[in-house]
Chains A and B, each alone.
Chain A
Amino acid sequence: MAVTTFEILDTTKDVTTTRTLLHESIPLTGTIVSGTYGAFRSEGNIKNYTHGQFQSVYDYPYLSSSANHIFDIAIGYDESSTLSGTTNTTQQAKKINMYNQFSQVLLGYTGSNNDAKKFELDLTLDATDGFVMKEAVFVTLSRLITKDQIKKGSVSVTLGTGSWADPFSDNAGRGRKTLTDASASDTGGTANTLGGDYGLLYELGAPNLVRGLVFYQAGILALSTSSWTAPSAGSTKGETGLEFQRYDTDASSKKTVAQVFTGSAITGACDTIRHRIQNISFNNTTEINSTIYFCRVPHNTYNYSSNPTYLSSSTIRVKSVNTDTPVSYITTIGLYSSSNELLAVAKLSEPLKKDPNNELTLRVRLDY
């Protein structure tokens, strides 16, 4: 249908923009992370690589086209860590490289020598010794589930700090530990760095104990080994000599956290960490930007249609007496550029009756 008249949109009064945040609740239960899709350490939803730098976790056996990649796990430590240079170290260079890689990407560099910054369990990144996290477990969440960013204040990670055989329900002794970023919100409780905003993962029930970091835009969790090793005062869970890994009944196979970080390959350490993840949950965020056009229909216009069906034998169908006021039914709104090019069409769910006795304002929203 040819358009013969246009209503000019006044950009100061008729056009506005809005931003809507759409969230999704993402629960990742430990059962899919460990032991559901096959025997532990040979699950079909766990992918190991020949490079051995990290391990990928899928929500279903990854050979199936149904599977979605949900996160990767890696471990690493800084070369100044006490674990560095110890005897019986496996893949030491690779573990140091992993730590450096994450720190360079997420934190950037410092000093005249452009040294990569170290992770710290605070929001200042001032290299205060007591807060530097020299050993870390990195959980890189898939973009598929983090979308634009993780919602601040929504992260919860439950880790098993009990014995190897019963890591989660041994509550009488070491129990399990839940980490949350409860202090983070859109208005505070986070710091900004090269990799975006990050918040602190506090131990639930021990509000002064920080056990890790969460990078919201990057979708990365950096967990401290202190989640499993000896806690500071105020927490009763975890211990230095924790039986962090014990693949068989032989007591000699028992390994502490430090022994796993030094004596196991990254892949083996990731297996152990998977065994000790009970739950990871967070809310993601998708930002939907919209432009709203208020299309105003004055009383004295758009009361006629150039649709061929509007006329029947040269008389207007919707009028029975020639003195009746003209009537039209609005079904569609076309948005045109300044060069009169049709850019978009908005359809109404049902036609709106228009005659000289009424005025309409139609709100057209364009999401992108």
Chain B
Amino acid sequence: MKIKNQIKPFWLFLIFLVFPLLGFAQTITVRGIVKDATGETLIGVSVKVVGTTGGSITDLAGAYEIKAPENSKITFSYVGYQTQLVDVNGRSTINVTLKDEDKSLNEVIVVGYGTQRKEAVTGSVASVNGSVLKEIPAGNITQALQGRLAGVDLEQNDTKPGATLQIRIRGTRSLTADNNPLIVLDGIPFSGSISDISPDDIKSVDILKDASATAIYGSRGSNGVILITTNKGVKGAVPQVSYSGYYGQGKAIYYPMMNGPEFVALRKASGRYTANGSDEANDVNTDWQSMFYTTAIVQSHDLNVSGGNEKGSYKFGANYYTNQAVIPGQNYTRYAIRGSIDQEIGKYIRVGFTSNTNFNVTNGASLGVGNVLSQSPIANPYNTDGTLKRFVQMPLDQGFVLTKDRIENLGDTWKDQKKALGSYNSFYAEIKIPGVEGLKYRTNIGANFNFSNAGTYTGVGVMNATATAASSASVVNSYTTDWAIENMLTYDRSFGKHRVNAVAMYSAEQNFNNYSTISAINIPTDNLQFYNIGQANASDITVNPGKDANFVPYQGYSVWGLESLMGRVMYSYDDRYMISGTVRSDGSSRLAPGYQWHTYPAVSVGWNMNKESFMKDITWIDALKLRAGYGQTSNQSVATYSTLGSLNTAPYNFGTTYSTGFNVNTVPNSKLGWEYSYTYNFAADFSLLKNRLSGTVEYYITDTKDLLMNVNLPSTSGVSSYTANVGSTQNKGLEISLNGVILDNLNGWTWEVGANVYKNVNKITALASGADQDINNGWFKGKSINSIYDYKKIGLWNTTDADYKYFSTLEPGKTSTVGMIKIQYTGTYKADGTPTRAIGPDDRQVMNLDADFQGGFNTRVAYKGFDLAVVGGFQSGGILVSTLYGSASYLNLMTGRRGNVNVDYWTTTNTNALYPNPAGPLSGDNPLYGSTLGYFDASYLKIRTITLGYNFKQKWLKFAGIEKLRLYGTVQNPFILFSAYHNQSGMDPETNSYGNQNQAVNSYNSRTLVIGTNTPSTHSYLMGINVTF
């Protein structure tokens, strides 16, 4: 009763509010048909009278009917088409033809703190819209972006579920500071993982590549900026519910291991293990991989609701994504919710709020295939009673028997789980300053929060050949907060032919992170896992105050802040001449007091030549713009507290008296300042033949100076390193992007092709104190940062070789000679042609890993409702490092000691082989110079995905209340061509690990991406549906 009484006045209020609108002008009924440019009727077009809340949509015949005041305006809007505004003018029949959304130079580009018509952009900005990204169903946008954009190199460094790709925009600049681009989500610098953003939410991705474009992001933009804009509700749109989802299955691409008979032959050829291990027999042929892998499953479901009224709009959505890897027990699941609201308050104020929150769970990330691959294929995994053995005994090694069944039956005895909650929120308020047209004040506030809990537990003897191996547990709890505030004044106005857009801004941000690690051995029962490590004996518990082997602290704490002042003016005259100038001043907490602030400028100009009178007669050119830019950016991405020096901890026991010692590890550098990049960018954008062919050609030079480097000092200095501004690098590159429309709705057929190709030449131009090389870090002046330093294999020694007479000079003391790896000798020769010395460390050479050129291509063919899209990528030149074939993964020992990759090795009857004589000399456990076996030509051409889709336009949709319906199927990784590595191994020629991961002995710099024993790549098939109600 009481409630009812309260509600009544509210309804009355509402009626009064709406009544004036209804009773204003004469209302008539308007009818009509809405078609597209091809004459097809459009079903489900939103038809609305401006200024009202009601609306209608077109039916199966494209017809609509709406009541509208005589002098009102009606909007027609439909996804993929330009919204049209029509004056009623008393007409009762209004037929409308909607134009496709224009994909020409008039697109609007997000340039950071504002947008710009593509025609007027002067910096280097590459854009992809969300619908293109959706052609590749992927867990995160890095996979969908791969090969799409010239100059944006996305390389795989992990194949586990939930992994993202490494992004390098126009090469690697910095030697030890961060090289990752800044990600900006809906205007606010994004501190989370890119995998936290569901690709389905993304409206567009704009990538700022040159300094004139990134200058506005200052020090955070030196490695390029990725601006991600998510979908928002549309003002005045009727409520829409949409769902998109897909489901797919994948099969592992097997690592190319020897089978039983091949392995028996290898062991015999090697002659090192004359007796089989006790679990081995020559007639056994075990395929360990097939006993291990499961079917990969990926599924994604997105549900969105959006709508709007006259003064505001909203969009809410939820996403569920899960990916089970081919490794059992290894999976990633993400639950995300997202909401955005925009609201106008009165005439001058607009406020909005966006929130992205996700919770994700990663299981089994520590599982790899290294152990499985190293198992002898002639070892029998089963006991006589049919049960699985705990381990198999090979001649020297015991290999724990790890199969799918075993992992699935671990129960409480094993757990490896990370749970993370991330919440990324931004709020803005915008005020139009009354009295000054075009002047606005805006404030953005971002607040992010991240929590994760990662624990591992391994029970007694689990994953260990030793049944009594102690149980162990560890847990890491991490907490991150991050806030940013931006206060901005913008002035945007046209005066005749003059257009001015000016921005002035002050911003500040601060990031806080703290994490703690606790570990213990001998956990009393499996049931406890890592949830109460305190139950272990005190002496078994470790809370390590120091750092791990990779110098990562066990207990982490960092706070960093950045303060900035910035101004930018973009001016254009007659849309012909454009100039943009930016000045930004940044202050960073990471640098030494007195060196914290730096100011840098950027300027770029553009000229739309086609608008000049002398171009009028050249009708085949629709648009031609020349651009040039120069700018300075900087990088402060050294670790926090780098200027302060640090003490190492050294725990010690004096008998049973425990004590923690300290020694100086890093010396302070009170002069640590900014690292600068100077970029020149020259480009031409063109659109030809009635916009059938468009593209961009860009050339750039980036010089990076005062590199922030962790300089390793010689031992005699008594301290291991310090962080300093030393050295310089250069990146030069050429980028070409082309988009063509080959068939433009010819008899219903449309065929579009896009391609990009780019080349980046990276070079270290100076190292610390004029040094020419820093072998320990793998840096060489005049060479690429991405180099390896090793011997160069030029073949195998055969007695028939012309130079065999020099064998004993080059390889003294080697007794097994034939079939051994032949190394290129770089020393001098005596007068008679004899080498003056033996092969030694001086013969190591710098070898560049970078591709000569690389790129991607895509094509789309559409006919009626069908469309077929193919996306591919390619690379020419460069070196691919496969640790499987080299010496790091211990899978090409060639001695028959354990599982071996299937290689074509030297025998007396196969002297032309690629791989050495298994009986030849060893270095450690590997063939002598075995690392040289892991280098392959990195060239490849690969079709990444093929998608066949069908858009329903049938009449039954209307009856089902469906506005749009699309079904599609996708094949991932279907073809690989021109890849030497694929031809030999059958594997994917793309890297899957950092250089210090997924190997038996991690042997490369982390920056060198390699193929290791990570989760196998898959061939996958997906089915998906997109539906809008």
Is this pair of chains taken from one and the same complex? no
Which chain A residues have a beta carbon within 8 Å of chain B's beta carbons? Answer: none
